[in-house]
């Protein structure tokens, strides 16, 4: 039975790929097309032991994995043809295949992340106390990428149910693996991470299947991950239409064609020849039908081009009472309270970070939670920001709700690609079938002589990315409500806490409440000037406005609270009233939030403006250490007050 399945899968992949190559030549495929010809035994052998609820994360060369995991052929063709009935609704093409309903979590145009995402799926499966496994397929090229190192290490230390399947086809595009690896023995590297590594003949389907069976059993039994190196060869060019014989010879390719895994299985089972012939016929018919069907399939319509960037928003309202005047707690205590409440109610929430376990976080962001929720939900990590961010991505893709505590948001930049290319894009690329409730938190801002690697803000940078929510609270009350909302919403959220305000206390209701994203707070009403201030600039702006009030000048201060989505309406309404707009930020001017607000107001509120829009910003320099230098790059209250006065008087 297994032999039949493996044979059918390999044959299906082969015939489908050859038909896709033809379709590529006929220009039915609009972008790249990386075929899997020659490597079929690996997908077929590994997937033989997977259930629909096991999660596969794949690469740019993923058609075979998709078909082996059960993707209907016509959905593959339709996707490459760019049709609405494609598995990614025409959003992905060859490199971005999504069918999470059958455990095809996604194939990726970026080399490496599949390793981290499979690790994350493993983490979430373990947390949910299931025996599901995560599988990463990746090429030899990925083994030289940091994701390989960080992912294997993370999976090993936490004994996660993951299969790392390296398809060593000996080239990364045209670069021979021999030339790219100090130690070209991939399986042997497993030893370095403390996990079993096996090397198999990747063109021997049965050998692959056997290795995979063992690895899957180990994983389901809680014994941890396995690295399987499958030695193989792709016998078509890297991508359809690319030249092939600059980096390898025709003879070498011919030689590997003769080692065809399909013929090999046939040869090993002469008694099944008739059965195999029948399968060949069935497969040929089904691929032909799929190709034809896909060609006739409808195109997606332009109005679908921007749907599913975010999950449908839950409609929540900020409670009418506001902060009230009850007990006062710090901003950190406010988010801790929110985190505790939500962790109590939602078992899928877990926290990753350095020192967030027993220690309770550098800033006390998780103080006391380890004792309540244990090590698996308050996971101290190695210093592998990219690794655990990619892990968080994979965990969210299979239903987990990770909170990644970066301490300082500067460290988040080490995970830039995982956030921008993976986490932010996943809901869109999967047409909303994946939800990405990932909360990334850390402190921002200049102060405490923290110098340049512990003082960045970066919210403008990240708010540029469709798919991300970016929150910058400036009061304990806002922090708790927004944090609670972040933990209940389905979108990835960057929660950036101004370090200089973390210890500042303010009234916070003890009961749980939510503050929706995209609703600015008018911190102080006024008539002559609108000041939009962010983070630590909010209390500074309020103090400066107080100075001006003493001079008879009336300033309205608005805290957007969320940078993405941005509440432009509240700002516009204020500018309509005052006619003057000042934007106060600690970050440098170039392409910052203020530039965006200025553009929106100039565009939509042009006739409201009685003076040029002005910005108060930090200096365009990395943050220096020495106190007088540090003070020189941050706008002071006095500078803010001056700018306010000048703009009110500007004629």
Ligand X SMILES: Cc1ncc(C[n+]2csc(CCOP(=O)(O)OP(=O)(O)O)c2C)c(N)n1
Cite the active site residues.
454
Rounded CA-CA distance 331/508 in Å is 9
Residue 533 DSSP class: E
Is residue 111 a contact point for ligand X (CB under 6 A)? yes
Binding residue for ligand X (CB under 6 A) from 173, 178, 249, 263?
173
Contact between 609 and another protein by CB under 8 A: the answer reads yes
**Which is closer to Mg ion, CB of 58 or CB of 169?**
169
Helix locations, 497-555, DSSP H: 537-549
Q: Is 610 in the site for another protein (CB under 8 A)?
A: yes
SS3 460: helix
Least distance (Å) from another protein to the CB of residue 480?
A: 38
607 binds another protein (CB under 8 A): yes
Q: Does 181 sit near another protein (CB under 8 A)?
A: no
**What part of residues 29-88 is at the interface with ligand X (CB under 6 A)?**
60-61
**Which residue of 233, 350, 363, 608 would you call a contact of another protein, by CB under 8 A?**
608
**Nearest distance from C-beta of residue 56 to ligand X, angstroms:** 15
44: cis peptide before it, omega within 30°? no
What does the alpha-carbon distance between residue 403 and residue 505 come to, in Å, rounded to a whole number?
A: 24
Q: Is residue 651 at the binding interface for another protein, with CB under 8 A as the rule? A: yes
Shortest Å, Cβ 638 to another protein = 23
501 DSSP 8-state letter: G
Total residues contacting ligand X by CB under 6 A comes to 15
The strand pair at 226-231 and 162-168 is best described as parallel
**Residue 172 binding ligand X, by CB under 6 A:** yes
Region 510-569 residues binding ligand X, contact defined as CB under 6 A: none
CB closer to another protein, 367 vs 602: 602
Residue 111 interface partner, choices another protein, Mg ion, ligand X, none, CB cut-off 5-8 Å depending on type: ligand X
Q: Which residues contact 306 (CB under 8 A, 6 or more apart)?
A: none
Strand runs (DSSP E) across 204-344, as ranges?
A: 226-231, 328-330
- Spatial separation of the C-alpha atoms in residues 402 and 436, rounded to whole Å: 9
If you write DSSP's letter for every residue of 362-429 in order, what string do you get? TTSTTTTHHHHH-TTTEEE--S-HHHHHHHHHHHHHTT-EEEEEEEEGGGGGGGHHIIIIIITTHHHH
Exposure of 167 in the CB half-sphere (CA atoms within 13 A) = 32
Q: Which is nearer to Mg ion, 174 or 376 (CB)?
A: 174
Q: For another protein, which residue of 611, 619, 629, 639 counts as binding (CB under 8 A)? A: 611
Give me the least distance between CB of 150 and ligand X, in Å please: 14
List all residues 6 or more positions away from 127 whose beta carbon is below 8 Å from its beta carbon: 347, 348, 350, 376, 377, 395, 400
What is the distance in angstroms between the CA of the first residue and the CA of the last residue of the chain? 85
Q: How near is the Cβ of 492 to another protein at its closest, in Å?
A: 38
Q: How many Å apart are CA 601 and CA 603, to the nearest integer?
A: 5
Cβ proximity to another protein, 519 vs 611, nearer residue: 611
Per DSSP, the chain holds a count of helices (H) and strands (E) of 24, 22
DSSP states along 83-137: -TTSTTTTSSGGG---BGGGTEEEE-SSSSHHHHHHHHHHHHHHHTT----EEEE
Q: Which residues are CB-contacts of 222 (< 8 A; sequence separation ≥ 6)?
A: 126, 159, 161
Residue 645 touching another protein (CB under 8 A): no
Count the Cβ atoms, other than its own, within 10 Å of residue 406: 24
Nearest-angstrom CA–CA distance, 596 and 587: 13
Q: Which is nearer to another protein, 464 or 604 (CB)?
A: 604
For another protein, the closer of residues 250 and 651 by Cβ is: 651
Of all residues in the shown chain, the one whose CB is closest to ligand X is 139
Residue 232 or 457 having the CB closest to Mg ion: 232
Q: Which stretch binds ligand X (CB under 6 A): 105-113, 129-137, 440-448, 551-559?
A: 105-113
Encoded one letter per residue, x for contact with another protein by CB under 8 A and - for no contact, window 552-591 reads ---------------------------x------------
> Taking CB under 6 A as the criterion, which residues in 132-151 touch ligand X?
139-142
Answer with the entry of ligand X, another protein, Mg ion, none that 89 interacts with (C-beta below 5 to 8 A by kind).
Answer: none
Give the binding range for ligand X (CB under 6 A) out of 70-78, 167-175, 342-350, 582-590.
Answer: 167-175
- Least separation, in Å, of the C-beta of 112 and Mg ion? 13
Name 163's bridge partners. Answer: 135, 226
Binding region for ligand X (CB under 6 A) out of 108-116, 203-211, 378-386, 523-531: 108-116
Of the candidates 303, 306, 315, 606, which one interacts with another protein according to CB under 8 A? 606
Provide the edge-to-edge strand list for the sheet that holds 349-353. 378-380, 349-353, 401-408, 439-444, 493-498, 469-471, 562-564
By CB under 5 A, name the binding residues for Mg ion. 139-140, 169, 172
Q: For another protein, which is the closer residue by CB, 451 or 609?
A: 609
Residues binding another protein (CB under 8 A)? 579, 606-611, 651
Residues binding ligand X (CB under 6 A)? 60-61, 109-112, 139-142, 169, 171-173, 238
């Amino acid at each position: 039975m297994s032999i039949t399945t493996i044979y059918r899968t390999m044959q299906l992949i082969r015939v489908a790929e050859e038909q896709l190559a033809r379709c590529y030549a006929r220009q039915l495929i609009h972008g790249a097309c990386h075929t899997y010809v020659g490597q079929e035994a690996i997908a077929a052998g590994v997937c033989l032991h997977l259930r629909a609820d096991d999660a596969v994360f794949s690469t740019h060369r993923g058609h075979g994995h998709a078909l082996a995991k059960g993707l209907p052929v016509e959905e593959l063709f339709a996707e490459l043809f760019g049709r609405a009935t494609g598995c990614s609704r025409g959003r992905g093409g060859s490199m971005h295949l999504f069918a999470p309903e059958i455990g095809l979590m996604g194939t990726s145009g970026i080399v490496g992340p599949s390793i981290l995402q499979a690790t994350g799926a493993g983490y979430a499966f373990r947390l949910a106390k299931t025996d599901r496994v995560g599988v990463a397929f990746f090429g030899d090229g990925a083994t030289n990428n940091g994701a390989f190192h960080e992912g294997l290490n993370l999976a090993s230390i936490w004994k996660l149910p993951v299969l790392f399947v390296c398809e060593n086809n000996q080239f990364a595009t045209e670069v021979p693996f021999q030339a790219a690896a100090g130690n070209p023995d991939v399986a042997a590297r497993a030893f370095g991470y403390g996990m079993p590594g096996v090397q198999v003949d990747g063109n021997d389907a049965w050998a692959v299947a056997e290795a995979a069976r063992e690895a899957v059993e180990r994983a389901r039994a809680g014994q941890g991950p396995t690295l399987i190196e499958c030695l193989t060869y792709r016998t078509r060019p890297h991508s359809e239409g690319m030249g092939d014989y600059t980096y390898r010879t025709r003879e070498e390719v011919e030689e590997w064609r003769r080692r065809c895994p399909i013929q090999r299985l046939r040869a090993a089972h002469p008694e099944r020849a008739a059965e195999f012939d029948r399968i060949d016929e069935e497969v040929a018919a089904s691929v032909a039908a799929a190709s034809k069907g896909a060609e006739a399939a409808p195109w997606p319509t332009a109005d679908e081009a921007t749907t599913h960037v975010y999950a449908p928003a839950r409609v929540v309202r900020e409670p009418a009472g506001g902060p009230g005047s009850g007990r006062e707690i710090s901003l950190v205590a406010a988010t801790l309270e929110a985190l505790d409440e939500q962790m109590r109610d939602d078992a899928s929430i877990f926290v990753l970070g350095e020192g967030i376990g027993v220690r309770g976080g550098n800033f006390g962001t998780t103080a006391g939670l380890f004792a309540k929720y244990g090590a698996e939900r308050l996971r101290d990590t190695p210093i592998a920001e990219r690794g655990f961010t990619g892990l968080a991505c994979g965990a969210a893709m299979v239903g987990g709700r990770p909170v990644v505590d970066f301490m300082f948001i500067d460290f988040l930049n080490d995970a830039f690609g995982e956030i921008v290319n993976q986490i932010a894009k996943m809901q869109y690329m999967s047409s909303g079938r994946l939800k990405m409730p990932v909360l990334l938190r850390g402190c921002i801002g200049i102060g405490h002589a923290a110098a340049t690697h512990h003082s960045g803000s970066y919210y403008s940078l990240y708010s540029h990315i469709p798919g991300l929510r970016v929150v910058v609270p400036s009061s304990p009350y806002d922090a708790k409500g927004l944090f609670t909302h972040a933990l209940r919403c389905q979108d990835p959220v960057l929660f950036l806490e101004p370090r200089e305000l973390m210890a500042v206390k303010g009234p916070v209701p003890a009961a749980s409440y939510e503050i929706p994203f995209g609703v600015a707070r008018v911190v102080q009403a006024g008539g002559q000037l609108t000041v939009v201030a962010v983070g630590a600039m909010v209390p500074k702006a309020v103090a400066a406005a107080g100075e001006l009030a003493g001079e008879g000048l009336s300033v309205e201060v608005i805290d957007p609270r969320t940078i993405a989505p941005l509440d432009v309406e509240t700002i516009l309404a204020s500018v309509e009233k005052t006619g003057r707009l000042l934007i106060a930020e600690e970050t440098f001017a170039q392409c910052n939030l203020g530039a965006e607000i200025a553009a929106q107001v100039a565009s939509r509120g042009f006739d409201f403006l009685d003076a040029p829009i002005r910005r108060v910003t930090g200096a365009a320099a990395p943050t220096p250490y020495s106190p007088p230098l540090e003070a020189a790059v941050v706008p002071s209250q006095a500078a803010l007050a001056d700018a306010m006065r000048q703009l009110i008087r500007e004629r």
